[in-house]
Amino acid sequence: MTSTQYDLIIVGGGMAGASLACALADTELRIAIIEAVPWRSDQQPSYDVRTISLSHGSRLIYESMDIWQQIDQRAICPIHSIHISDRGHPGLTHLDRKDAGVEALGYVIENRALGAALMNRLEKIEHVDIFSPATVSDVEIDTDLATLSCAAGEKEFITQGKLVVIADGGRSGLRDKLNFKTVVDDYQQTAIVCNVTPGKSHQHCAFERFTPAGPLAILPMNENRCWCVWAVDDEDVDEILSLSEKQFLERLQQQFGDRLGRFSRAGKRYAYPLARKRVDTTIRSRAVLVGNAAHTIHPVAAQGFNLGLRDVAWLAEVLAQAQARQQDVGTLGVLQGYEDIRATDTKRVTAFTHGMIKIFTSQFWPVVGSRSLGLLLTDLVPELKHALLRRTMGLTGRQSRLTRGLALKKSSESTEKAW
């Protein structure tokens, strides 16, 4: 059985894992990516029909990695404004790019286009080896190395690395193998997602509408399409999925209203169970969790992938600095610095999204009145609006070098301060 040794083994070649490898392109770290889905397959989530909502801060990270410039611009739709409302109640908030002084508050991007840009970059990095399709059957961690038993079809092989980065998603098998303790809050909701065509121009406005049936996001796409993310109670999922296109659009119209005119077309519907998953720690000696493997949150406010990308930006910075100091990248001392940096942002975002769901699904009249007042005050008070804009754009708290457009190789000053 063959064995190869690396500095870094990334388990999971989706957008989080691929982004980390790309972020480390200018370092000398030797990297292996182990991905279960065939490379560039339509089954790979980076290549499926879904879209992803990137914050302004995430664009800055990808620009620093020279990825943003490589994305097919026809697959990117900027968000100029955000309309937040509570169905049946008076409060609402309107956020605009002019209030933030930016070109766009965020972007809706087709997964296929972002995935293609990442994979095109990866294939040009000489110190990155890609094993796909391949799976990890076992892992052993000792003082100096992590050893992974892997299989690619009938071929078995071993990879060894100083650090294993677990980026295989919210249902991470490797996270469970390494006994990371996971806490799950089941929202008893499922997200139904699909493309829809509105009767009026969306004018690059994203809508977040809270309804008794669950939060409903309508996000702008090119060609005057919209991406629908509708959270519904689990007990209603089968019925909604079984509706004809016409019946589904009528139900959607009833919940959303007529701000975009009449919906005339809906694409194939997909369903994804919703839960908040947290771990007591994202690190152990020779292993670290990033992205959805570290934290899964409700899609309200579109914070999930952006939170994971900030994981990637900071981990890349910490590892690049460790390499510059000739430190072992897999030691707890190095990884603790990363976890200390990320803890506050992760806790704030998970609490923010969890709190929004609890507040906006409550039918207790004092809560209903308070949330309507909160939306109204946020719309009227500049300081509150600015704070919400900073959070939605991913610009609160400590910023990584990639967010600030700086190279990782000169990261000693910022990382030392962060530690």
Q: Look at residue 417 in the predicted model and tell me its pLDDT.
A: 41
pLDDT tops 70 at residue 101: yes
Angstrom distance (rounded) from CA 261 to CA 264: 9
Q: How distant is the alpha carbon of residue 116 from its chain centre?
A: 17
pLDDT tops 60 at residue 303: yes
Q: Look at residue 329 in the predicted model and tell me its pLDDT.
A: 96
* Domain boundaries defined on the chain: 2-76+105-184+275-365+400-418
Q: Look at residue 32 in the predicted model and tell me its pLDDT.
A: 97
pLDDT tops 60 at residue 231: yes
Residue range 30-53: mean pLDDT, rounded? 75
349: which residues sit within 8 A by CB, 6+ positions away? 297, 303, 307
pTM of the model: 0.92
What number of other Cβ atoms are within 10 A of residue 269's Cβ? 18
Q: Look at residue 39 in the predicted model and tell me its pLDDT.
A: 79
Quick one: pLDDT band at residue 387, thresholds 50, 70, 90?
very high
Q: The tokens 């094993």 sit on which residue?
A: 131
Task: Report residue 191: phi and psi, to 5°.
Answer: -90, 125
Mean pLDDT is lowest, of 5-9, 217-221, 364-368, for: 364-368
Residue range 201-207: mean pLDDT, rounded? 97
Q: Look at residue 281 in the predicted model and tell me its pLDDT.
A: 96
Residue range 133-145: mean pLDDT, rounded? 94
Q: Between these two residues, 212 and 185, which has the higher pLDDT value?
A: 185
Quick one: pLDDT band at residue 294, thresholds 50, 70, 90?
very high
Distances (CA, A) of 214 to 65, 79, 183, 279, 358: 36, 22, 23, 26, 11
Angstrom distance (rounded) from CA 130 to CA 13: 9
Quick one: which H or E segment has residue 265? strand 265-266
Question: Can you give the three-state secondary structure of 13-61, one letter per residue?
Answer: CCHHHHHHHHHCCCCCCCEEEECCCCCCCCCCHHHCCCEEEEEHHHHHH
Residue range 399-410: mean pLDDT, rounded? 86
Quick one: pLDDT band at residue 133, thresholds 50, 70, 90?
very high
Per-residue model confidence as pLDDT tens digits over 1-25: 556 799 999 999 999 999 999 999 9
Per-residue model confidence as pLDDT tens digits over 158-184: 999 999 999 999 989 899 999 999 999
Q: Look at residue 407 in the predicted model and tell me its pLDDT.
A: 82
Q: Look at residue 378 in the predicted model and tell me its pLDDT.
A: 92
Q: Which two tokens stand for residue 10?
A: 């990334």
Q: Look at residue 15 in the predicted model and tell me its pLDDT.
A: 94
Fold annotation for 2-76+105-184+275-365+400-418 = FAD/NAD(P)-binding domain (3.50.50)
Average pLDDT, the chain: 91
Q: How distant is the alpha carbon of residue 300 from its chain centre?
A: 12
Q: Look at residue 207 in the predicted model and tell me its pLDDT.
A: 97
Among residues 106, 89, 96, 95, which one has the least CA distance to residue 360?
Answer: 89
Residue range 220-243: mean pLDDT, rounded? 95
Residue 171's Cβ-count burial label (10 Å; 0-12, 13-18, 19+) is: exposed
Bridge partners, residue 77, by sequence: 108
Task: Report residue 286: phi and psi, to 5°.
Answer: 75, 10
Q: Look at residue 397 in the predicted model and tell me its pLDDT.
A: 87
pLDDT tops 90 at residue 88: no
User: Which parts of 180-257 fold into alpha helices (H)?
Assistant: 237-242, 245-256
Residue range 34-56: mean pLDDT, rounded? 74
pLDDT tops 80 at residue 196: yes
Q: Look at residue 217 in the predicted model and tell me its pLDDT.
A: 96
pLDDT tops 50 at residue 246: yes
Per-residue model confidence as pLDDT tens digits over 278-287: 999 999 999 9
Share of the chain above pLDDT 90, in %: 80
Per-residue model confidence as pLDDT tens digits over 314-359: 999 999 999 999 999 999 999 999 999 999 999 999 998 988 888 8
Bridge partners, residue 279, by sequence: 182
Angstrom distance (rounded) from CA 168 to CA 172: 5
Residue range 369-387: mean pLDDT, rounded? 90
Bridge partners, residue 185, by sequence: 276
Residue range 367-379: mean pLDDT, rounded? 88
Q: Which two tokens stand for residue 70?
A: 């490589």
